[in-house]
Structure 1
Amino acid sequence: MGSRPRFIDDLPLAGAAGAAGATALEPSPASDAALLDQYSRTVIGALERVRQAVAYIAVERRPPGNANGRGARGGTGSGFLFTPDGYLLTNSHVVHGATHIRVTLAEGATYDADLVGDDPDSDLAVLRIGSAEPLPHVELGESGKLQVGQIAIAVGNPLGLAQTVTTGVISALGRSLRSNSGRMIYDVIQTDAALNPGNSGGPLINSAGQVIGVNTAIIPGAQAICFATAIDTAKWVIMQLFAHGHVRRAYIGVAGTTTPISRRVQRYFGLTAASGVHVMEVVKGSPAAAGGLQTGDRIVAVDEQSIDGVDGLQRTLDASRIDRPVAVTVLRGAQRLDLTVTPSEQA
Structure 2
Amino acid sequence: MDAGATANPGPEDQIALPDETAPSGDRGEAALDAYSRVVTRVAERVGPSVGSLRVRTSRGAGAGSAVLFTEDGFLLTSAHVVEGRPGTGRAGEPVGTVEFVDGTERAVDLVGADPLSDLAVLRARGSTPRPAELGDAATLRVGQLVVAVGNPLGLTGSVTAGVVSALNRSLPTRSGSAVRVVDEVIQTDAALNPGNSGGALVTADGRVVGVNTAVAGVGLGLAVPVNATTRRILAALIRDGRVRRAYLGVAGARVPLPPALAERTGQRHGVRLAEVVQGSPAGQAGLFTDDLVLSIAGTPVAGPGDLQRLLTEDTVGQPVEMTVWRRGALVDVIAVPRELVTP
Q: Give the TM-score band, short-chain normalised.
A: 0.7 to 0.9
- Quick one: structure 1 residues 264 and 55, their matched pair in 2 at CA, closer, same or farther if it must change by over 3 Å? closer
Cα displacement (A) at 1:28: 6.9
Quick one: which amino acid aligns to residue 107 of structure 1? D
Contact 2:292/2:326 (<8 A) preserved? no
Equivalent residue, structure 2, for 1:110? 105
Partner of 1:327: 321
Distance 1:42 1:75, change over 3 A: same
Residue 149 in structure 1 maps to residue 136 in structure 2: no
Q: Which range is displaced more, 105-114 or 196-205?
A: 105-114
One-letter identity of the residue aligned with 1:198: G
Unaligned runs of 5+ in 1: 1-24, 63-71
Hey, what does 1:164 align to over in structure 2?
Answer: 158
Residue of 205, 213, 216 corresponding to 2:213: 216
- Rounded to whole Å, the distance in 1 between the matches of 2:124 and 2:255 is 49
Superposition TM-score, scaled by structure 1 size: 0.75
Q: In 2, are the aligned partners of 1:121 and 1:185 still within 8 Å (CA)?
A: yes
Deviations 1:144-200 (A, max 9, x none): 333333321111111122211101122233333223443121222222211111101
Offset, 1:296:
4.1
Q: Distance in 1 between matches of 2:182 and 2:16?
A: 46
Percent identity over paired residues:
40
Matched residue SS, 2:277 = strand
Q: Which residue of 2 aligns with 1:341?
A: 335
Q: Is 2:33 aligned against 1:40? A: no
Instruction: Pick from 188, 193, 196 the counterpart of residue 191 of structure 1.
Output: 188
2:64 corresponds to: 77
Q: Which residue of 2 aligns with 1:201?
A: 198
Of 148-157 and 94-103, more deviation after overlay is shown by: 94-103
Contact kept? 1:291, 1:339, Cα under 8 Å = yes
Q: Distance in 2 between matches of 1:280 and 1:73?
A: 38
Residue deviations 1:21-69, cap 9 Å, x none?
A: xxxx9787649x968433323222221112222111122233xxxxxxx
Amino acid at match of 2:70: T
**Do the aligned residues in 2 keep the contact of 1:297 with 1:331 (CA within 8 Å)?**
no
The count of corresponding residues between Structure 1 and Structure 2 is 307
SS at match of 2:45: helix
1:97 aligns with 2:84: yes
Question: Structure 1 residues 203 and 261 mapped into 2: Cα distance closer, same or farther (>3 Å)?
Answer: closer
**Structure 1 residue 119, shift from structure 2 partner:** 1.1
Q: Given the two structures, how large is their TM-score scaled by the length of structure 2?
A: 0.76
Letter in 2 for 1:338: D
Q: How does 1:226-305 map to 2 (within 5 A)?
A: 226-232=221-227, 233-252=229-248, 254-258=249-253, 272-273=268-269, 276-283=272-279, 286-293=280-287, 296=289, 298-301=291-294, 302-305=296-299
Could you tell me whether the CA contact under 8 Å between 1:59 and 1:101 is conserved in 2?
Answer: yes
Secondary structure of the residue that 1:179 maps to in structure 2? strand
Q: Give 3-state SS (helix, strand or coil) of 1:183's partner.
A: strand
Show the counterpart of 1:4. Answer: none
Q: For the residues of structure 2 that align with 1:39 and 1:334, how far apart are their CA atoms? A: 57
Contact 2:254 2:304 in 1 (8 A): no
Q: Deviations over 1:73-110 (max 9, x none)?
A: 22211111111221100011111213833222223333
Query: Partners in 2 of 1:259 and 1:38 — Cα distance?
Result: 42
